[in-house]
Structure 1
Amino acid sequence: MRLSGLLLTFLAFATAAGGAFLGARAAVAVVEDRSVVAVRDALAGEGLLFARVLGDGLQIVLEGEAPSEAQRFRAMSVAGGQVDASRVIDNLSVAEREGLAPPAFAVEILRNDAGVSLIGLVPADTDRERMADRIAEAAPDKPVTDLMETADHPIPPGWAPAMIFALEALERLQRAKISVSAGEVSVVAMAESATDQRRIENELARLRPAGLSLSVDITAPRPVISPFIVRFVSDADGARFEACAAGSTEGEAVITEAAVAAGLDGRVSCRIGLGMPSEHWSEAVALSIGAVAELGGGTVTLTDADVSLVAPADTPEAVFERVAGELENALPPLFALEAAVAVEPDAEAVETVPEFTATRSPEGLVQLRGRVADALMNTTAETYARAQFDGAEISMGTRVTEGLPPGWSVRVLAGIAALGELESGSVIVRPDTVRVSGLTGNPDARTQIAQLLVEKLGQDADFSVDVTYEERLDPIAALPTPEECLQQIGIVTRNRKITFDPGSADIAGPAQAVMDDIAEILRRCPDLRVEVAGYTDSQGREEMNLRLSQDRADAVLRGLRERRVPVGSFSAVGYGEEDPIADNETEEGREANRRIEFRLVGSEATDASADADGEAAAGGEDGSDEQD
């Protein structure tokens, strides 16, 4: 009996314990499920989908790979916000971090009258001292403000040539912003004039290293045009401008549209500048050109606010009166019209018309032919031609004639001045007209000749200007490349040498002609960076040879300066007996090693070089290079 009671008691306790255990397990499972769901939903709401949520009793386990340490910490914080943070087990790993991408190195170089400023980020290995020296060479006497920061990363490909080119560009620009990045340079600058603008653009294009992306935006102040002139002609040879000026590109477009409608076939290029007499200039020009088209031909000349319309000789009077009247009423305020019908020349009178002709050949010969009023005028014409064509051969074939028309001498001098705008061509002067034709290297020559003739002969003067621009004649566009300049030096020194007096740095007399030829080449090659390098043979003491080579390089540089070569960007360096090009054990080899070399430096440097060898002479007993 007693045993059965104990067993029942034990069973009762066991049943109660089992029920409690099962109840606790059920409660834990409910808590676990709810905690897992709550944490999973919270993580998903924050976009932390990399974390997997597992339940382990009352503990919450986070597993997965976080993209960063910050993301891992954020996941733990979100989970700790849903359950007690002590219940959250961190089994998250963090993805390996990739190396930091190198920064975008870039520099902006600003130059104006106040100095030079550098702003940007450069590699830590940048030679700041060398850069400062180059800027000092490019902008002497200008303060330099260096605001650049550095980053310790490798120098990216294309960075070095871009920086070298940027400093070369800085040397040629007085007011500019130069933006530099690896393989790219952008130049925004102001030039002193349109001619200067074209020169700089050509130089930068020539200096640009292969593979460099270059953007150039150089502006120049518009020139002052006086008088402001347009001359439009329509005759048997077609419609054309003999002079064209506009105040803006928009105005040029208006003038072009009117000219095309009047029969012009081809490209129109008006000279754009300041001095426009009225804001309605392009409108007045378009109306005037339209009047020529309505007449079926003729000439219209606008000189500032004066408009001169000349109709063909066969124009019906009624048509002329209508067109002239409509134009006069349509012209904007300020513009005044003079209209006339051309007069047919008398065939008999043509045979006796006096004529003066001036021609200029491609070789530079200037010939003056025809009639002049008196001996004084003959001398004046020759003197004026010699001043106009400095150094050219002048051939006089003029003849003094009485009874020439009034103003003949002025017409003759105007014709000579017009010829001066051409590289080759001719000017024919008659009492009623002036005809100019030829080739030029100045893109604005046509307009400039027309302006000159209007100034000298008057607005009503009859003249024609038929000149063609050729780029090969343009002294700016046709500049030789740096390599071509060195090749030319190599040609003139191929069979002649720069020699020195024995044991000295004085250039020998026979070598002066060689120096003259080299100077002439270098004067045609502006803005070069050239090193004049002096070398000796190995005879004598090394210190003496080094000093002698430096003295001789200095002497060559001095000789170029005396010949008016701009040598501001040149340097003279003596290398002594370094870099022999021949065997110093033979007399021929030593003679070859005693030399002066011209080589390009900076971004212009190439493998091309031109040698001007020294010539041996009697020397000292010690066999030193004093015998050179």
Structure 2
Amino acid sequence: MSDTNRISALLGPACFVLAACLSVGTAIVSAKLVERRSIEDVTAALQADAIRWVEVSANGLQVFLQGEAPDEAARFRAETRASAIIDGDRVVNQLDVAAIDTTEPPRFSLDILRNGDGIQLIGLIPGTNGDEAFAVAESVADIAGSEDVVNMIETAEFAAPSTWDAALDYGLLALATLPRSKITVLADRVEVEAVGQTREERAEFIAQLQRDQPPGVEVVLDISAPRPVITPFALRFVRDAEGGRFETCTADSAASRDRIVAAGLAAGATGVVPCTIGLGVPSASWPIAVETALAALTEMGEGSLTFSDADVTLIAAVGTPQDRFDDAVGNLTANLPDVFSLQAVLPEASAEQATGPASFVATLNPETGARLRGRLPPGTIGQSVHTYATSLFGADTTNIATREVADLPQGWSVRVMAGLTALADLHEGELTVEPGILRLSGRTGDTEMVSQLTRLLSEELGQGADFQLDVTYDEALDPVASLPTPDQCVERIRAIQEETKIAFDPGSTEINDAAGEILDQIAEVLPDCLHVRMEIGGHTDSQGRESMNLNLSQARADAVLNGLLARGILVSNLTAQGYGESQPIASNETEVGREQNRRIAFRLLAAAELDQAAAAEDDQPRTTDGILARGTIADWPFEASPLPRPEPPEDDN
């Protein structure tokens, strides 16, 4: 072989070796670049979240997290943040959790966050081997239904504080009540943050949570609701011989409300001042304008101040000295923000005629209807007032005996119709229209009515019009406040059944005539109790097979529920549950006792009472339509859904 051929034979393998070395070198360099870039990106993300106790390293595509987390929640947060930067499969979590100082009990707390994505549990609770954390998570899972539950609860082997169980039960009650919330359970304190879809829903949430507050546990409720749109944005303050008072108060923020209330107290208001926070404020200077105007009213003495959006009306009391009126109006004009327009009125004493002043009086009585007396313009204008009154109060319940008088003050019929509109919103009352003033008094069952009437009259009468309201709230007229309590609802139904209980024909699950008459009486009670969650419980004696008795009791409870539905009763607050022979109230050894055990019972939904005997038999948590058998969650909001009717029973129960 020639030297040239020998060299060629050696160069071929050498080139392959060199190419392989270059490829390996390139791969190593690329891997190092990936490692460095991964370390830099993950480190930057962790530091941006103030997680500086994590050391980040890499080996090829794997990224290692090392260090000591202050607690399990911090450890989870670090891993989650890193997984958001690179593929989670590449993250190797080697983080340790700092050991808990066992020299003194830790501060137990449980954070529960519920939103559209599910429920998260984070915290440290008392426990020995993790069973307590599992039990809490299981209870939350029952509440969550189809929602996902992320459990990051740790336990510490210490005795539970004396109020811990009560606080935890209350926290679970709040979780079940509030669809979107953040609940923090501490040893003797529960903090609840939530949002209601409406102001009414917010009020219901607060009422229920306040009613169920456990003794010895401090409860902090921060439940908000969307702010209402207020139009017109109105405020009215009156000063007279009895002092000062807000007849309506609105603000655009809590800070604005506080300033306005403070100015009202300085102007003579006393007690608690309700002031609605809402949208629609005409200017960011609203609280400044109100403060300035209240100061002017105080300087003037007695009178009224009315805001309707940016229109301000200041009316002095009859007899106010001219110089005092001029000084107050001058100061207010100079200091009122530019967007607001002022109309100030000093009524003349001569406006109160001594003989036969023009007047119109309308009274509203819930039993006799409306009665109209006084003066109206002649012709079609006066007739239009008559027509309007009958449309408001009804032709058969409106008594009209007015006089046609010419030369009445300008806008008289407009003021009368505005007053009649306001009167129609009351349960009973009296309207008086005179030159220069409109007076309305009466009773209402709506706590917001005074504010609504103030806005109505301010808008209808226009700027500069003077009116006086003496409308009182009567709780007996409030359709919500006057509703029976849950206990009263159950007692009324029990009173009906004490006279004659709901019974079924032997072997039947059908409502007979006698049972139908009882359901007719119960159906008269239930419309006032739609706000109360109740259970229709079916019970049998112990004769026959246990499974057959359970099916029979369920079928009979369903029959009662369906019977009420057939009578036009809304049953969304009712649920039917069969208990079979498991809850006797008398001995099954005698016919009298068996007769007492065969029954239909109405009761308030309270989870602590459900299936206690059955749960004790197998020592397992049981649920009934989503109600925790071992909890203390009451008034569970689920819909009634009758089970399929079982086969006809063989025995007479």
Tell whether the structures are fold-level matches, with TM greater than 0.5. Answer: yes
- Measure how far apart 1:161 and its partner are: 3.5
Please say if 1:449 is aligned against 2:453: yes
> Does the 8 Å contact 1:582/1:589 carry over to 2?
yes
Task: Determine whether 1:494 maps to 2:498.
Answer: yes
1:313–1:514 CA distance, 2 compared to 1 (3 A): closer
> In structure 2, what is the equivalent of residue 221 of structure 1?
226
Residue 348 (structure 1) aligned to one of 347, 355, 358: 355
After superposition, residues 220-619 of structure 1 pair within 5 angstroms as: 220-343=225-348, 344-350=351-357, 353-360=359-366, 365=367, 367-371=369-373, 381-385=389-393, 395-399=397-401, 402=404, 411=415, 414-415=418-419, 417-419=421-423, 422=426, 424-430=427-433, 432=435, 433-469=437-473, 482-500=486-504, 503-507=507-511, 508-525=515-532, 528=533, 530-559=534-563, 563=568, 565=570, 567=572, 571-584=575-588, 586-602=590-606
**CA deviation profile, 1:364-421 (whole Å, cap 9, x unmatched):** x4731115877776565455447xxxxxx99433346545967666656644553565
Identify unmatched segments of 5+ residues in structure 1.
1-97, 387-392, 610-619
**8 A contact 2:539–2:578 mirrored in 1:** yes
Indicate conservation of the 8 Å contact 2:315/2:344, yes or no.
yes
C-alpha contact 1:482 1:600 (8 A) present in aligned 2: yes
Inter-partner Cα distance in structure 2 for 1:421 and 1:323: 35
Contact preservation (8 Å) 1:309, 1:340: yes
| Alignment-mate amino acid for residue 353 of structure 1 | S
Matched letter for residue 452 of structure 2: Q
Pairwise CA distance, 1:498: 2.8
Cα distance, 1:308 vs. partner? 1.6
Task: Report the Cα offset of residue 597 of structure 1.
Answer: 1.9
1:206-238 residue CA offsets vs partner (Å, 9 max, x unmatched) = 122334332222233333322122222233444
**Counterparts in 2 of 1:212 and 1:296: CA distance versus 1, 3 Å:** closer
Q: Distance in 2 between matches of 1:420 and 1:135?
A: 51
CA RMSD of aligned residues (A): 3.9
**Structure 1 residue 164 and structure 2 residue 158: aligned?**
no
Q: Is the 8 A contact 2:536 2:602 kept in 1?
A: yes
Shift of the alpha carbon at 1:334?
Answer: 0.9
Return the alpha-carbon distance in structure 1 between the equivalents of residues 608 and 482 of structure 2: 18
| Contact 1:540/1:623 (8 A) holds in 2 | yes
Give 1:270's aligned amino acid: C
SS at match of 2:422: helix
Gaps of at least 5 residues in structure 2 are 1-100, 613-633, 635-647
Distance in 2 between the 1:210 and 1:478 partners? Answer: 27
Is 1:148 the counterpart of 2:137? The answer is no
State the SS of the aligned residue for 1:494.
Answer: helix
TM-aligned CA deviation for residue 136 of structure 1: 4.7
**Stretch deviating more after TM superposition (592-601 or 368-377):** 368-377
CA contact (8 A) 2:489 2:525 kept: no
Secondary structure at 1:232 match in 2 = strand
Distance 1:299 1:505, change over 3 A: same
Q: Deviation string for 1:250-283 (max 9, x for gaps)? A: 4344434444444445543332333222222222
3-state SS of 2:279 partner = coil
User: Does the residue aligned with 2:352 lie in a helix, a strand or coil?
Assistant: coil
Letter in structure 1 aligned against 2:359: V
Which secondary structure does the structure 1 equivalent of 2:215 belong to? coil
Given that residues 109 and 187 in structure 2 are in contact (C-alpha distance below 8 angstroms), is that contact kept between their aligned partners in structure 1?
yes
Q: Secondary structure at the match of 1:450?
A: helix
Mapped partners of 1:193, 1:591: distance in 2: 48
Which of 208, 214, 217 is the aligned partner of 1:212? 217
Residues 1:475 and 1:587: Cα distance change in structure 2 (over 3 Å): same
CA contact (8 A) 2:363 2:431 kept: yes
Name the structure 1 match of 2:70. Answer: none
Larger Rg: 1
Q: Deviations over 1:407-438 (max 9, x none)?
A: 6666566445535655x541314254433334
C-alpha separation in 2, matches of 1:211 and 1:467: 40
* Counterparts in 2 of 1:180 and 1:233: CA distance versus 1, 3 Å: closer
Distance 1:505 1:384, change over 3 A: farther
8 Å Cα contact 1:198-1:476 kept in structure 2: no
Q: Is the 8 A contact 2:552 2:649 kept in 1?
A: no
Tell me the CA shift for residue 532 of structure 1.
2.6
Task: Summarize the Cα distance change of 1:241–1:521 in structure 2 as closer, same or farther, 3 Å threshold.
Answer: closer
User: Could you tell me how far apart the structure 1 residues matched to 2:299 and 2:106 are?
Assistant: 67
Partners of 1:534 and 1:597 within 8 A in 2: yes
Query: SS state of the match for residue 459, structure 1?
Result: coil
Whether the 8 Å CA contact 1:301–1:309 is kept in 2: the answer is yes
Give the conservation status (yes or no) of the 8 Å contact 2:509–2:559: yes
- Distance (whole Å) between structure 2 residues aligned to residue 235 and residue 451 of structure 1: 21
Cα offset for 1:107?
2.0
Letter aligned with residue 529 of structure 2: L
Would the aligned equivalents of 2:344 and 2:464 in 1 still touch at CA under 8 Å? Answer: no
How far is the alpha carbon of 1:119 from its aligned partner?
Answer: 1.7
Aligned partner of 2:68 in structure 1 is none
Amino acid at match of 1:188: E
Cα distance between partner residues in 1 of 2:270 and 2:504: 63
Residue 398 of structure 2: SS of its match in structure 1? strand
How much does 1:549 deviate?
0.6
Check 1:190–1:99 CA distance in 2 against 1; reply closer, same or farther (3 A cut): closer
- Mapped to 1, the partners of 2:192 and 2:538 lie a distance apart of 36
Mapped pair 1:125 → 2:131: yes
Cα deviation, residue 177, structure 1 = 0.8
Are the counterparts in 2 of residues 515 and 559 from structure 1 also a CA contact under 8 Å? no
* 1:105–1:571 Cα change, 3 Å: farther
Contact 1:418 1:427 in 2 (8 A): no
User: Cα offset for 1:187?
Assistant: 1.2
* Aligned match of 2:109: 106
Q: Given residue 506 of structure 1, which amino acid in structure 2 is its aligned partner?
A: E
TM-score between both structures, scaled by the size of structure 2: 0.66
Work out the CA distance in 2 between the residues paired with 1:376 and 1:317.
40
| TM-score scaled by length of structure 1 | 0.68
Shift of 1:556: 3.0
Task: Give the direction of change, closer, same or farther, for the CA distance of 1:130–1:331 in structure 2 (3 Å limit).
Answer: closer
Q: Quote the offset at 1:302 in angstroms.
A: 1.7
Q: CA separation in 2, counterparts of 1:295 and 1:203?
A: 46
The letter of the residue matching 2:207 is N
> Which residue of the partner structure matches residue 89 of structure 1?
none
Cα deviation, residue 534, structure 1: 0.7
